């Protein structure tokens, strides 16, 4: 019997451009909280790096990933109590999204006060971000720690970048985490981790902490806020650790130039660009200071610069054994409804009953179409039911 903690991840991306695309796709990691039971990429990767697979996607073609991931409580045996020198250097570095500027340093020192233990310092940063001085907004104006510090508002990525920047400014190794909630379609999320020697990586979710701290139920939200530091509320799947990955060997993209002051990322339209770290990056055609911005779970690379604005993060669906079972039951019920409704309507003296029954089935069909990957069966049944309802009302 399949474990109730098993999640099936199905992801795909379509190369709408007339140019070939090289896809930099995150290699799903095993972590203390997740185990990758299986993972298949199509087309097969032609190159593997430490963090990603490289996949060639011809014009007009698709690439996809199917994985089964077990999400579970933290496994202490998988902890990383000590970091190598290379890892420490990576996770304390100053980058475009996490700049260790004078303003970042000054604020980190102010918040840390006389605290000396990494966990106490990180807690002070977390408490600041979930308080009243910052505000969650989506989408963020300019993605990055520096902009978050000055604007005091941003999305989950902005919260994570600022937390990481403060930690690194105090010499505490920290990294962003990009992933998804472990159910539903396109439930993208970002959070952070900081490292404590002898213990390992500890998760922090400042944006979720802020959202729960500012909801209407103080007793419930206080408990949820506490759960966002050192633990993770809700089930998630990790796509990648950290941000700003080096371009693979043999590939070259220009760096995005400095953007004009001001501007925001749009909530209602996507023009193929994203404002981050003071630069308006053409997605897939430019880099952020010579690096791939982040992998959630992929970044399309068009060496000739002919990127299509419709190519973004791709699309994914995370299913649990329960949601798959409910969907199968739903298909069976809809098929039975399609067979039985003509007989029910014929025997009914009140056509309103038929309308109500058909309407209920239609609502269920709409839910199936909105939540399921395959729409052919429910769409066909929906069309048939609507046709029957129309005929029943006109005769």
Q: What is the DSSP string of 173-185?
A: -EEEEEEEESSEE
Of residues 280, 282, 289, the one with CA closest to residue 262: 280
Tokens of 169: 């400014």
* Residues 227-261 pLDDT 10s: 777 888 778 999 999 999 999 888 888 998 887 66
pLDDT at 214: 81
Q: Categorize the per-residue pLDDT at 380 as very low, low, confident or very high, splitting at 50, 70 and 90.
A: low
pLDDT at 293: 94
CA distances 162 to 110, 229, 250, 277, 352, Å, are: 14, 15, 32, 12, 58
How big is the chain by its Cα radius of gyration, in Å? 24
Burial degree of 382 (CB within 10 A; 0-12, 13-18, 19+): buried
Of residues 31, 60, 28, 30, the one with CA closest to residue 45: 28
Q: Is the pLDDT of residue 212 over 90?
A: no
The DSSP-derived string for 238-306 is EEEESS-EEPPTT---PBPPBPPS-----SS---SEEEETTEEEETTT-BBTTEE---SSEEEE-TTS-
Q: What is the DSSP letter of 78?
A: G
What is the mean pLDDT of the segment spanning 48-63? 93
- The β-bridge relationship of strands 135-136 and 153-154 is parallel
Task: Work out the number of other CB atoms within 10 angstroms of the CB of residue 71.
Answer: 22
Q: Categorize the per-residue pLDDT at 78 as very low, low, confident or very high, splitting at 50, 70 and 90.
A: confident
What percent of the chain has pLDDT above 70? 75
pLDDT at 373: 47
Task: Work out the number of other CB atoms within 10 angstroms of the CB of residue 112.
Answer: 19
CB-CB contact of 24 with 313 (8 Å): no
Q: At what angle do helices 206-213 and 118-129 cross, to 10 degrees?
A: 50
pLDDT at 300: 93
Rounded Cα distance between 6 and 34, Å, is 10
What is the mean pLDDT of the segment spanning 272-276? 87
Rounded Cα distance between 144 and 122, Å, is 19
Q: Categorize the per-residue pLDDT at 167 as very low, low, confident or very high, splitting at 50, 70 and 90.
A: very high
């Amino acid at each position: 019997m399949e474990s109730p903690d098993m999640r099936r991840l199905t992801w795909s991306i379509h190369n709408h451009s007339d140019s070939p695309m090289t896809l930099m796709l995150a290699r799903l990691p095993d972590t203390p909280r997740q185990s990758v039971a299986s993972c298949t990429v199509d087309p097969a990767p032609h190159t593997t790096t430490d963090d990603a697979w490289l996949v060639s996607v011809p014009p007009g073609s698709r690439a996809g990933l199917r994985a089964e991931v077990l999400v579970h409580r933290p496994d202490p045996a998988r902890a990383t109590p000590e970091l190598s020198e290379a890892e420490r250097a990576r996770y304390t570095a100053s980058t475009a999204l996490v700049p260790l500027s004078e303003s970042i340093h000054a604020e980190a020192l102010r918040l840390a006060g006389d605290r000396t233990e990494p966990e106490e310092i990180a807690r002070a940063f977390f408490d600041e971000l979930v308080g009243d001085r910052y505000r969650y907004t989506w989408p963020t104006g300019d993605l990055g720690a520096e902009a978050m510090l000055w604007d005091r508002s941003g999305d989950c990525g902005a919260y994570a970048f600022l937390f990481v920047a403060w930690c690194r400014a105090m010499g505490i190794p920290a990294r962003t985490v990009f992933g998804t909630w472990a159910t539903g379609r396109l439930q993208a999320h970002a959070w952070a981790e900081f490292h404590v020697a002898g213990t390992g990586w500890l998760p922090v979710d400042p944006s979720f902490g802020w959202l729960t701290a500012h909801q209407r139920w103080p007793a419930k939200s206080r408990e949820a806020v506490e759960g966002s530091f050192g633990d993770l509320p809700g089930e998630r799947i990790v796509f990648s650790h950290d941000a700003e990955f080096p371009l693979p060997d043999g590939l070259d993209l220009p760096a995005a130039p400095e953007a004009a002051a001001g501007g925001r990322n749009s909530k209602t339209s996507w023009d193929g660009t994203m404002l981050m770290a003071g630069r308006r990056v053409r997605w897939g055609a430019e880099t952020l200071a010579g690096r791939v911005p982040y992998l959630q779970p992929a970044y399309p690379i068009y060496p000739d610069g002919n990127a299509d604005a419709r190519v973004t993060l791709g699309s994914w669906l995370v299913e649990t054994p329960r949601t798959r079972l409910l969907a199968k039951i739903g298909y069976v019920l809809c098929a039975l409804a399609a067979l039985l409704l003509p007989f029910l309507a014929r025997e009914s003296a009140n056509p309103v009953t038929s309308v109500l029954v058909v309407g209920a089935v239609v609502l269920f069909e709409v839910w199936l179409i909105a939540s399921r990957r395959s729409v052919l069966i429910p769409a066909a049944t929906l069309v048939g039911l609507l046709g029957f309802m129309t005929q029943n009302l006109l005769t």
